């Protein structure tokens, strides 16, 4: 099932203290010796090269110690078996400057309590009420598109999913002015976050980043004032609303305790940040792949015509939209919106017979796993049909993992699948989008995997 080879080293490792173990192997060829330039220039190729070296590979870049895992059993150990001994990686931890101490960044007993409190809010049953919003907001957006015009479908997808996440998190009654303020503040803060992450910035004197940081701090104040006002209004109005903030306010722990306003703020902002660009990317890349593969596009439209016959899709249609779902699974395989996740152990541990230190960043790349020919035939080809059989049941765990895995698997995965299916079905039933011929296909791997120059496409109304 997996490629982990049990060697003498492993047998010794089983009994030895982790401190006595060897460090994971480093690539020997010069091409694999990590440099800022290589990683910064093409992180995707860099991760593929590191993984091709073996199931566990260490690459040192300056003071960063990166350990790439390319084996499902080792990944299982990190995400499931030893999950309680792991923190999120350093970059994810830094996201708390935007998200606060929400589900993505919180740790330990606090995270466990929050996850337990919030899990029921994301069950299929609780989310069912949002299906109407998803399809309707897509219809409203498309209604403004003109026959023959060229649009940036990535920007459009971002606007649609932002509209949906605002309405589901904060409620439909939120004034558009507030949505704009929140969207603008989050954009500024994420922009600063990404600038700081870009490796070259780390060599830049702190004073050079002052202006951007001051702007991000202002944005955070503006964001907080809108969100706290909204929370206060909802508290005053009493519980019972269908939006996620109202449900967070109503949620009670086993001890009867409720969340503070700050915690509700942090969880709400976390959901907006984690939940809109990711899903927008699924729509963007699906559109690109369908335009590049017209025969698949035709098959998708045949399904939509048969199941929907021109009406707006509803929750009940999802079970019948099997090819639409397969297109989405395949788009997330080829272009996983979250293309790498990371962990670091709390203490020194042994992993795969090697010593892992607390400052090692354990990296698991969906990009690498999803393009691996050990599990996917023709790994770079767009073949949605592969998902129509029993592939999902027969793949080893932690091979296809657009939503992560283990205890910290995406809490919004049902939300995201429902949104992707309903929005893509609505979109493709109403329009055919033809990506312009000379459109660049360059990718920009930042926090998520984005098209560097958006996605320009011609609109043909159906």
User: How many angstroms separate the CA atoms of 131 and 314, rounded?
Assistant: 7
Q: Which of 304, 403, 449, 459 binds ligand HEM (CB under 6 A)?
A: 403
Which of these ranges, 26-34, 235-243, 275-283, 296-304, lies near ligand HEM under the rule CB under 6 A?
Answer: 275-283
Which of these ranges, 51-59, 133-141, 269-277, 292-300, lies near ligand HEM under the rule CB under 6 A?
Answer: 269-277
Binding of ligand HEM by 50 (CB under 6 A) = no
Binding of ligand HEM by 337 (CB under 6 A) = yes
Closest distance of CB 19 from ligand HEM, Å: 27
Binding of ligand HEM by 104 (CB under 6 A) = yes
Count of beta carbons in the 10 Å neighbourhood of residue 395: 15
Closest distance of CB 164 from ligand HEM, Å: 9
Owner of token pair 């892992």: 356
Closest distance of CB 18 from ligand HEM, Å: 23
Scan residues 129-188 and list those touching ligand HEM (CB under 6 A): none
Binding of ligand HEM by 270 (CB under 6 A) = yes
- Of 297 and 402, nearer to ligand HEM (C-beta) is 402
Q: Which of 48, 82, 113, 115 binds ligand HEM (CB under 6 A)?
A: 115
Binding of ligand HEM by 275 (CB under 6 A) = yes
- Of 13 and 369, nearer to ligand HEM (C-beta) is 369
Binding of ligand HEM by 241 (CB under 6 A) = no
Binding of ligand HEM by 411 (CB under 6 A) = yes
Q: Which of 192, 279, 324, 426 binds ligand HEM (CB under 6 A)?
A: 279
Closest distance of CB 268 from ligand HEM, Å: 10
Please answer whether residues 382 and 57 qualify as being in contact, where contact means their C-beta atoms are separated by less than 8 angstroms: no
Q: Which of 271, 283, 368, 457 binds ligand HEM (CB under 6 A)?
A: 271
Which of these ranges, 33-41, 346-354, 407-415, 453-461, lies near ligand HEM under the rule CB under 6 A?
Answer: 407-415
Binding of ligand HEM by 416 (CB under 6 A) = yes
- Of 247 and 408, nearer to ligand HEM (C-beta) is 408
Binding of ligand HEM by 365 (CB under 6 A) = no
- Of 16 and 159, nearer to ligand HEM (C-beta) is 159
User: How many angstroms separate the CA atoms of 21 and 13, rounded?
Assistant: 7
- Of 271 and 307, nearer to ligand HEM (C-beta) is 271
3-state secondary structure the chain: CCCCCCCHHHHHHHHCCHHHCCCCCCCCCHHHCCCHHHHHHCHHHHHHHHHHCCCEEEEEECCEEEEEECCHHHHHHHHHHCHHHEEECHHHHHCHHHHCCCCCCCCHHHHHHHHHHHHHHHCHHHHHHHHHHHHHHHHHHHHCCCCCCEEEHHHHHHHHHHHHHHHHHHCCCCCHHHHHHHHHHHHHHHHHHHHHHCHHHHHCCHHHHHHHHHHHHHHHHHHHHHHHHHHHHHHHHCCCCCCHHHHHHHCCCCCCCCCCHHHHHHHHHHHHHHHHHHHHHHHHHHHHHHHHCHHHHHHHHHHHHHHHCCCCCCHHHHHHCHHHHHHHHHHHHHCCCCCCEEEEECCCEEECCEEECCCEEEEECHHHHHCCCCCCCCCCCCCHHHHCCCHHHHCCCCCCCCCCCHHHCCCCHHHHHHHHHHHHHHHHHHEEEEECCCCCCCEEECCCEEECCCCEEEEEEC
Binding of ligand HEM by 274 (CB under 6 A) = yes
Binding of ligand HEM by 287 (CB under 6 A) = no
β-pair type (360-364, 64-69):
parallel
- Of 250 and 458, nearer to ligand HEM (C-beta) is 250
Q: Which of 51, 338, 356, 399 binds ligand HEM (CB under 6 A)?
A: 338
Q: Which of 32, 404, 445, 458 binds ligand HEM (CB under 6 A)?
A: 404
Dihedral over Cα of 200, 204, 206, 212: its sign: negative
Binding of ligand HEM by 67 (CB under 6 A) = no
Which of these ranges, 62-70, 308-316, 377-385, 398-406, lies near ligand HEM under the rule CB under 6 A?
Answer: 398-406
Q: Which of 278, 287, 344, 429 binds ligand HEM (CB under 6 A)?
A: 278
Please answer whether residues 442 and 453 qualify as being in contact, where contact means their C-beta atoms are separated by less than 8 angstroms: yes
The residue number whose beta carbon is nearest to ligand HEM equals: 412
- What would you report as the CA-atom Rg of the chain, rounded to the nearest whole angstrom? 23
User: How many angstroms separate the CA atoms of 161 and 165, rounded?
Assistant: 6
- Of 115 and 215, nearer to ligand HEM (C-beta) is 115
Interacting residue ranges for ligand HEM, rule: CB under 6 A: 88, 92, 103-104, 115, 270-271, 274-275, 278-279, 282, 337-338, 341, 402-404, 408, 410-412, 415-416
């Amino acid at each position: 099932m997996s490629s982990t080879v049990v060697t003498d080293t492993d047998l010794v490792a089983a009994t030895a203290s982790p401190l006595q173990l060897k460090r994971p192997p480093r690539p020997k060829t010069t091409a694999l010796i990590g440099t800022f330039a290589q990683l910064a220039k093409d992180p995707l190729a860099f991760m593929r090269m590191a993984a091709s070296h073996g199931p566990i590979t260490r690459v040192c870049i300056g003071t960063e110690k990166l350990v790439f895992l390319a084996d499902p059993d080792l990944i299982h150990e990190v995400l499931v078996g030893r999950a309680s001994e792991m923190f999120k990686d350093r970059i994810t931890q830094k996201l708390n400057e935007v998200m606060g101490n929400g589900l993505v960044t919180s740790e330990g007993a606090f995270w466990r309590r929050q996850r337990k409190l919030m899990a029921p809010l994301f069950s299929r049953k609780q989310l069912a009420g949002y299906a109407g919003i998803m399809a309707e907001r897509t219809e409203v957006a498309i209604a403004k598109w003109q026959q023959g015009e060229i649009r940036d479908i990535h920007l459009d997808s971002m606007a649609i999913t932002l509209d949906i996440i605002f309405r589901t998190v904060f409620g439909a009654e939120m004034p558009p002015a507030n949505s704009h303020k929140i969207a603008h503040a989050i954009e500024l803060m994420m922009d600063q976050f990404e600038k700081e992450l870009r490796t070259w910035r780390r060599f830049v004197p702190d004073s050079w980043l002052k202006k951007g940081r001051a702007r991000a701090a202002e944005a955070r104040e503006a964001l907080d004032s809108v969100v706290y006002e909204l929370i206060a209004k909802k508290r005053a109005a009493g519980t019972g609303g269908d939006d996620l903030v109202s449900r967070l306010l109503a949620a009670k722990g086993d001890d009867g305790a409720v969340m503070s306003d700050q915690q509700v703020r942090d969880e709400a902002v976390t959901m907006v940040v984690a939940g809109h660009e990711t899903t927008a990317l699924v729509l963007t890349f699906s559109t690109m792949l369908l335009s590049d593969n017209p025969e698949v596009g035709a098959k998708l439209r045949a399904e939509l015509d048969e199941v929907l016959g021109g009406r707006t899709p509803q929750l009940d249609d999802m079970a019948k939209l099997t090819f639409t779902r397969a297109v989405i699974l395949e788009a997330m395989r080829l272009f996983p919106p979250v293309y790498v996740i990371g962990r670091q152990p709390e203490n020194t541990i042994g992993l795969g017979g090697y010593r892992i230190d607390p400052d090692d960043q354990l990296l698991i790349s969906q990009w690498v796993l999803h393009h691996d020919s050990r599990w996917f035939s023709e790994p770079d080809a767009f073949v949605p049909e592969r998902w129509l059989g029993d592939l999902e049941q027969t793949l080893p765990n932690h091979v296809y993992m657009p939503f992560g895995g283990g205890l910290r698997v995406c809490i919004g995965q049902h939300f995201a699948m429902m949104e992707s299916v309903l929005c893509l079905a609505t979109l493709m039933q109403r329009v055919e989008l033809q990506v312009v011929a000379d459109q660049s296909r360059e990718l920009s791997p930042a926090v998520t995997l984005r098209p560097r120059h958006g996605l320009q496409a011609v609109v043909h109304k159906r």
